[in-house]
Structure formats: C-alpha cells, structure tokens
Structure 1
Amino acid sequence: MLGIMNHNEEWLWCISGKHPVAKDYFSLGAENPLFKAFSDWAGNGYMKWLTQSNRGVSRNSWRFWAKGSKKNQLICGIVKDSGDQFGRLYPLLIMGSGSLKDWESQWDLLPLALDNIWEKMEYLSINRRLSNLKQLEEEILQLQGPSNDWPAWKALQEQSYPMMHGHLYETLSKGLNDFWKSSDCLIALNNHFLSEPLKITETYHALLKDRLPIVPNTVFMGGVPETTRIGIFGRALAPEDFVKLWSPETTSLIGRF
C-alpha cells in the first residue's frame, strides 16, 4: 500500500482502486497485511471476472465485515464498482480495522454497529465534490471506529423483527437449516418484495448466529440494485469468490468444507 494514514481510536483505514476524483488506480492507507490481502483479492478477482464471457454490465456494491488476526480485531468495509476521472472501470475498496471488544460473541449485531460507518464509506465512494486525492484522504481520516454498545444494538435488532413477514422469516429459517454446515453460501433476497432489503440482513444475522457454532470469517451484504444478497464465508477468500459475488445469477450454495 502506498502512503501512511494516521489512525483514530485504534482504528486504521485504507482506500484503494479507482475513484471519480483520481486519474488512475491509487492506494492510500496504513501498511497492514490485512488491507493488502483484501486489496489483492479484489484486484485478482476483478481480473478473473473480466474473463467471463457473460459478465454484462456490473453495478455491484457490497458491505462486509471480517475477522481480524487476533481476538477483538474486526475488519469492516465496502467494495463496489467504480471508475476514475476518465470513466475507466475498476473496483473501489474502502476498509478499516481495529479493536471492538467482545464482537465475536455479538457478531449478529454488527450490521447495526457498523451501519453508520458503511453509510459514510458509501457516500465517500461517490462524492464528486472532492477536488483531489488529498481531500479524499482527509475525509477517510475522519472515519471513527464503531461503538460496542451491545445493549443498544440488541434493542434496535429486536425492533426490526416486526418488519419480517411471517413466511419470509420461515423461508430464511429453512434456508439456514440447509446451509449451516457449509463453508460458504450466497443467498438472494427479492428487492421487489422487501421495502428495505438491507434491513432484513440484520435479522438474517440473528438467525444465522442461532444456528452456527462458529463465527464466520467474512460476511458480505449487498449486490446489484435489483437483488440484495448475503454471502457467508467460513474460510479464506479466493478470487473465484469475487467472481461469484459479482455475478448476480449466482444465488445458491457455492461450496462445502
């Protein structure tokens, strides 16, 4: 990674890829092996996706969280389709890593705890008012790590349960029974049926945690505007996983231990 960016509240941040304020690919952020691993994964996966004959036009945007390399270390970020000033396409990755006490036992609440950070990242990813990379870097430096106010997040999670239509809740529960032994799965939610599909991923986290004996390595939420999907990985990511995330028609089980 090029450059060093300061951290706040024990969280480090980085950004890499292409952005409308940049003339080409760039990379700014902390010198961190985890950041480099995700950046390499996105780059190698995108190159592999470009070889697909049926790839079509891509409009993907994904939120994600992942395990760090030690207890209480959490990674969160977004990866999405983007391009530089000249319209040349390439994914943009914005991510952070730091300590969040006890998150491993509360991981079903992460969509709530991280929502504000994801929203800020998504805004920065499309902000054309920035005049140069220096301004973008300054904005990234303003990001703050999440709060571990688990009782508050739990209360919000419980408020979201009434949003779930009964048969949808039942369908998701049955799906989890099918997938809980898998190392990775990718499930689609029908955006035409759901008014706030990303909110359903919060409840899906609760359902998943009830049935999984382990903490997933990485969870993705997002996709294309027509279809929101959730991807759960219990193993290290491979470039092929990027291809599947970037292919909206891939909505079924994609692997087993």
Structure 2
Amino acid sequence: MRHLALAGLVLGLLTAPAAADPRLDALVAAYPDFVAGYDAKDLILKSGQRIPISDGKTKTPEQRLDGADIADMFAVAYPLGASKPPSGPADDPGRARNRALFDAMYGDCSKGGVKLKTIAWLPHLHGGSLQVVVANGVADRLEAVSRELEALPEKLQPYLKPSAGTYNCRAIAGTSRMSMHAYGAAIDLNVRFSDYWRWGGAKRETDPVVYKNRIPQEIVAIFEKHGFIWGGKWYHYDTMHFEYRPEILALAR
C-alpha cells in the first residue's frame, strides 16, 4: 500500500498543472485561435507545437532582443497612457519578440505564408489602402483604429497620412530579426512627423540615444485601446511605429 501511495504521489507531481502565470495567461487570452495553454516549461499552441517559456540563459538587453524566449517578451513593463521618456537602454517594453510564436501565428513571409487583407486607411480622409494580416483579427482591429482616428480634430490629421506602410517582408534595420511588418501586424505613420533612434546618429544598440517624439498622445491612446503598442515608449524609439501586441497591454492593465 505504501508503494502504491508513493507512486500516486509521484504521478500527481508529474501531471500537476503549472502554477498560474499572469504573463502566460495574457498570451492565452490575447491569441485564443493559436495558444492553447501552458505547463511548467512550455507555451503550448493549438497545433501541438511547444515553445519553451525560458531558455535558462541570463541575457543582456541586446541578447534578449536577438534571442527572445517567451519570458523575455515581458521582461520590461509597458507603461499605459502618457508616460515619461524611457529611462535607459534596457527600457524597450514589448520590443523583444519570440520568433517561433509569431511565425506560428502569422506565417513565414519569405514562403508566402502571411494571409493579408487590404483595408482602407482613413477612407474619409483619402488615406489610401494598406495590407494587414488577417490572423488574430489584426486587420479588423486596425480598421477600428482608423475609424476612431478619423474622428480626431483636424490638426492631428497630418500625423496619420500618408502611412509609411504596413506589410513588408523584411528584417529590422541593422539586424537579422524579423520586423513585425513582415507579419503584416504593424503600421508606420507619416514619416514627416516621426522620429527614430538611428536617425540621431546612433547605429548600435549600445550607443547613447537622445529621445525625441512629436506624435500626440491622443493618437497613441486610440492604438493602445485596440491592442497596438507604440514604439515611442522604447528607449530605442520608433515613434511612427505601432504593432499589434495585446498580450503586452493586457499585462500592463
């Protein structure tokens, strides 16, 4: 009987569910079409694919970007609403992305695997059309953003159009990391009113950066409402850039 009880205890330990993790709960809630759940080691996709939550490595901020595991995506908290300029080189909330997860959800653009939809951008303001990924309802979300942006005061319209683009099968400048534009899950606003950390002379992630921004908070708030984080909240700022990352915003809330 003692042996049976011991065996039952061991079996129970082996099959015990993972402790609740708000980060992973946010992923499950954000991407219900693709993420089934998680255990103590892996994020489990509905396809059966498992993605390690942590690779067990201690990383510098640069290493976190280049080889992000699931936990790395949440290493820096995203500040909701109006915020102060980022405090230092590691302050890039949401900029780390696990490629295996996003490839699984959106597809590999180099193989034509991204399913896109053409949407009207600010149609009443003649903003043109954009290609946006269908998965996770991103195209629908961006259309909702467009409708709300059109209702903003006229003085804000120049920031919004023409858009500098959505889908583009490319790596991030100066890196081998795939851009969220390669998944059709990001949009850049009018370059004329935007600022980017590399434009100030910095070339490497370790170079000092002087923060700049001209994008009004009213615009940022609408994007965040619909699940898009803003590159203006990064130390390595990209103020024209918004990308669909509802898991980051859910955890911030």
Range class of TM-score, shorter chain = under 0.3
Q: Please, what TM-score do these two structures have when normalized by structure 2?
A: 0.26
Q: Which protein, 1 or 2, shows the higher relative CO under an 8 Å CA cutoff with sep ≥ 6?
A: 1
- For normalisation by structure 1, the TM-score amounts to 0.26
> Which protein shows a greater Rg?
2
